[in-house]
């Protein structure tokens, strides 16, 4: 999200950043980051873009930090502030454990690059459960008025399915009985895909329905092997096929309520591009088609479907990389200005046939030749972006019709954008 923080130390994750800087300097550096990278203006801009919720990743060390660990703690007040801002703006919040002790996947966004050591001992899972208990106790308090709708037990774990289910059972049984606000327990699919969790109940292996207060998080990216070799038409068809799977009726598929918790516009097609979308009409044309294809696929359009909405990764990055920055997409016109208003969309949906609910792939669309100079300067910051978009409708359409916003106890998930407050390496 903010690679510039790591440049001077030539490190790739927060563990090594703090190890090189020392705790005092690292805390000073990160306090500045936490205080400035996201502000209330960003939340206002998120609301103005028609988004209804934010996802906030958190490292375990914000709650449970041992003396020998080089991390520093100080994130928690900023997490509380973010939840309060969300409440003021009628946005909902999902909090996820992005970094667990020992690292659950060995990637930089967990805070520590290297072996997957989460499963090396029970202390790691016990410490993670302690963090989940803390989050549950805090954010189910009446003062937050149910703003936090989801707590995700573990982000992107690379762990064997039996062991993962054991941890999920412990996490589910910790949160559900203790919560007083109806918060949902969210489990990442572990890259086994949602169908592997059909009829999943942590306490009943033979269940014929999914457990209550349980949602599945799946991440769909097209920029990493082997999917980075797909052509445009192959990507669009794969997106449509996946959408058909999660938009099937729960009563027949058994798939629990499912959200696409991370996706972007990055693909193998543009991964090595050296042009910015603001100056590349062809790139904006492709991005708009890809965005609307994924929005259509990941958004439910009827009652009883497994799909409950999505989060885009991310609202912004330090340099607003075009495929990964939602606010830049809005400013440059390759993301609709108000995603809760279908009249801002460019592509019609198929209403009949095998691909019903997907965008019409035959529809001709070309992005405008140029981008307005008043909306393209997203690097000026969230305040400038908010000002430029001040004419947007900040009030979503009715919940019965707005895409991704639905009636039922799952309505809080809605259409979502990720806000990253914790710092996880170069993610």
How far is it, in rounded angstroms, from Cα 26 to Cα 379? 25
Q: Which of 156, 292, 303, 364 does the annotation list as catalytic? A: 156
In a domain, residue 402? The reply is: yes
Q: Is 425 within a domain? A: no
What CATH number should be reported for the domain holding residue 280?
A: 3.20.20.80
pLDDT tens-digit readout, 379-421: 333 222 222 222 222 222 222 222 232 222 222 233 445 554 4
| pTM of model > 0.85 | yes
Max Cα–Cα distance, the chain, nearest Å: 61
Number of structural domains in the chain: 1
Q: Residue 179's pLDDT is what?
A: 82
Angle between the 76-88 and 40-48 helix axes, to the nearest 10 degrees?
40
List, for the chain, all residue ranges whose pLDDT scores fall below the cut of 50: 374-416, 420-427
Alpha-carbon separation of residue 225 from 109, 229, 263, 312 (angstroms) = 19, 7, 15, 20
Nearest Cα to Cα of residue 185 among 198, 199, 174: 174
Cα–Cα distance measured from residue 420 to residue 285, given in angstroms and rounded to the nearest whole number: 28
pLDDT at residue 297, rounded to an integer: 97
φ, ψ of residue 282 to 5 degrees: the values are -65, -40
The answer as to whether 93 is a domain residue is yes
- The reply to whether 121 falls in a domain is yes
423 occurs within a structural domain: no
In angstroms, the CA 61 to CA 380 distance is: 31
CA atoms of 95 and 421, how far apart (whole Å): 10
To the query of whether residue 24 is one of the catalytic residues in this protein, the response is no
Q: Which residue has the tokens 């934010």?
A: 54
Per-residue pLDDT tens digits for 334-381: 999 999 999 999 999 999 999 999 999 999 999 999 997 544 433 333
Tokens of 118: 């989460």
Active-site position among 262, 292, 364, 411: 262
Q: In 230-279, which ranges are E strands?
A: 258-262
In a domain, 424, yes or no: no
User: DSSP per residue over 23-81, as a string?
Assistant: HHHHHHHHHHHHHHSS-HHHHHHHHHTT--EEEEEEEGGGT---TTS------HHHHHH
Residue 163 has what pLDDT? 96
Is 427 part of a structural domain of the chain? no
Task: Please indicate, yes or no, if residue 323 is contained in any of the structural domains.
Answer: yes
Indicate if 14 belongs to the active site. Answer: no
Please list, in sequence order, all residues whose beta carbon lies within 8 angstroms of the beta carbon of residue 260, skipping any fewer than 6 positions away.
217, 218, 219, 220, 246, 294, 298, 307, 309, 310, 311
Q: Which domain holds residue 34?
A: 3-418
């Amino acid at each position: 999200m903010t690679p510039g923080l790591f440049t001077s130390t030539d490190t790739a994750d927060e563990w090594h950043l703090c190890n090189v800087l020392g705790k005092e300097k690292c805390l000073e550096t990160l306090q500045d980051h936490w205080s400035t990278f996201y502000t209330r203006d960003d939340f206002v801009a998120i609301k103005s873009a028609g988004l209804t919720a934010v996802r906030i990743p958190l490292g375990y060390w914000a709650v449970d930090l041992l003396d020998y660990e080089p991390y520093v703690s100080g994130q928690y007040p900023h997490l509380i502030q973010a939840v309060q801002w969300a409440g003021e703006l009628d946005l909902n919040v999902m909090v996820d454990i992005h970094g667990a002790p020992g690292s659950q996947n060995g990637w930089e966004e967990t805070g520590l690059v290297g072996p997957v050591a989460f499963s090396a001992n029970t202390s790691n899972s016990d410490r993670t459960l302690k963090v989940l208990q803390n989050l549950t106790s805090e954010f189910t308090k009446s003062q937050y008025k149910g703003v936090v709708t989801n707590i995700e037990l573990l982000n992107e774990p690379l762990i064997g399915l039996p062991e993962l289910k054991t941890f999920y059972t412990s996490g589910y049984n910790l949160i559900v009985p203790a919560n007083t606000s109806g918060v949902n327990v969210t489990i990442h699919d572990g890259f086994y895909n949602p169908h592997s969790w059909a009829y999943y109940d942590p306490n009943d292996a033979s269940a014929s329905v999914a457990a209550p207060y349980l949602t599945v998080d799946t991440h769909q990216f097209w920029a990493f092997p082997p999917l980075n070799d797909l052509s445009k038409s192959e990507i669009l068809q794969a997106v449509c096929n996946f959408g058909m799977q999660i938009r099937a009726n729960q009563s027949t598929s058994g798939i629990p309520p499912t959200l696409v918790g991370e996706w972007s516009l990055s693909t193998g097609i543009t991964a090595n591009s050296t042009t910015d979308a603001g100056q590349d009409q062809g790139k904006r044309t492709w991005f708009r088609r890809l965005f609307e294809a994924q929005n259509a696929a990941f958004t439910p359009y009827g009652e009883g479907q497994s799909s409950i909405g999505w989060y885009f990764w991310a609202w912004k990055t330090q340099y607003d990389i075009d495929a990964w920055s939602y606010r830049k997409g809005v400013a440059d016109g390759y993301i609709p200005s108000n995603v809760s208003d279908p009249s801002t969309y460019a592509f019609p949906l198929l209403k009949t046939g095998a691909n019903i609910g997907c965008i019409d792939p035959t529809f001709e669309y070309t992005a405008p030749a140029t981008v307005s100079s008043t909306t393209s300067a997203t690097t000026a910051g969230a305040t400038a972006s908010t000002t430029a978009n001040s004419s947007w409708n900040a009030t979503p359409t009715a919940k019965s019709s707005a895409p991704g916003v639905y009636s039922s106890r799952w309505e809080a998930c809605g259409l979502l954008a990720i806000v990253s407050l914790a710092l996880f390496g170069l993610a």
